[in-house]
Amino acid sequence: MAEILEALALRRARRAYDRRPVEPDVEEALWEAVSIAPSHGNSQPTRVVVARSPERRAALTGALNEGNQKWAVAAPLLAAVLAVPAHDFPQTNSDGTVRHMWGFNAGIATGNLLAQATAMGLLAHPMAGFDEPAVRAALGIPEEIRVLVVVAAGYPGAAESLPEDLRKKEDIPQERIPLTALVTEDSWHEAQGISAREWRKRLAEGH
């Protein structure tokens, strides 16, 4: 068990990639990790489109926001993680509100992808900073399909390959809210409502 936690702790959203291509069997293991993820009712809503040809890669890169383009352009592997909202078993609450699970299911699958990448010595960096219609246009994705994240993946490269502002971010300490604010017993605690940003401030001030 400790081994899994140690492996998960190695995952970071770094941005410097080596040019070395990801071997086909290594890449396939990423998609296997997505495939074996649990989903509600085994609905399996997650799909992946890999931007393989130079034309599609350029189009997908162009759909990212400017900040992401600067570094993601060098990642050997660029893929969009999608969800099919129709592949869902909605849960209806007593007040009539509905809980859709497709995004949650696809999130678990993406977590698997990131963990598997880390275990194989790869960086895998998810991005929400993109224009969804532009990603759809880049990869021929129909309107009823949602684009959840674009993932950049590849072997780690030298931080020196990055522009100065991004270089500094490569090894910033990983900040997380305290476990006491994450998990409580028996009832919700008001500390759980504090944002990560506010926790960062409080911890920096020594509270």
Ligand X SMILES: Cc1cc2nc3c(=O)[nH]c(=O)nc-3n(C[C@H](O)[C@H](O)[C@H](O)COP(=O)(O)O)c2cc1C
- Residue numbers at the binding site for ligand X (CB under 6 A): 12-13, 68, 126-129, 149, 174
Q: Is the Cβ of residue 89 or residue 161 nearer to ligand X in the bound state?
A: 161
Q: Is the Cβ of residue 89 or residue 159 nearer to ligand X in the bound state?
A: 159
Q: What are the backbone angles phi and psi of residue 100, rounded to the nearest 5°?
A: -95, 140
Nearest residue relative to ligand X (C-beta): 129
Q: Are 117 and 129 in contact (CB under 8 A)?
A: no
Q: Is the Cβ of residue 7 or residue 128 nearer to ligand X in the bound state?
A: 128
Q: Measure the CA–CA gap between 142 and 135, rounded to whole angstroms.
A: 10
Instruction: Give the nearest distance from C-beta 130 to ligand X in angstroms.
Output: 7
Instruction: Give the nearest distance from C-beta 111 to ligand X in angstroms.
Output: 9
Task: For 146-162, give one letter per residue: b (16+ CB within 10 A) or e.
Answer: bbbbbbbbbbbbeeeeb
Q: Are 152 and 128 in contact (CB under 8 A)?
A: no
Instruction: Give the nearest distance from C-beta 110 to ligand X in angstroms.
Output: 8
Instruction: Give the nearest distance from C-beta 94 to ligand X in angstroms.
Output: 31
Q: Is the Cβ of residue 45 or residue 126 nearer to ligand X in the bound state?
A: 126
Q: Are 83 and 103 in contact (CB under 8 A)?
A: yes
Instruction: Give the nearest distance from C-beta 82 to ligand X in angstroms.
Output: 14
Q: Is the Cβ of residue 71 or residue 87 nearer to ligand X in the bound state?
A: 71
Q: Are 113 and 30 in contact (CB under 8 A)?
A: yes
Q: Is the Cβ of residue 49 or residue 81 nearer to ligand X in the bound state?
A: 81
Whole-number Cα distances in Å, 187 to 70, 177, 190, 191, 193 = 44, 18, 10, 12, 13
Q: What are the backbone angles phi and psi of residue 2, rounded to the nearest 5°?
A: -60, -35
Q: Measure the CA–CA gap between 3 and 124, rounded to whole angstroms.
A: 20
Instruction: Give the nearest distance from C-beta 177 to ligand X in angstroms.
Output: 12
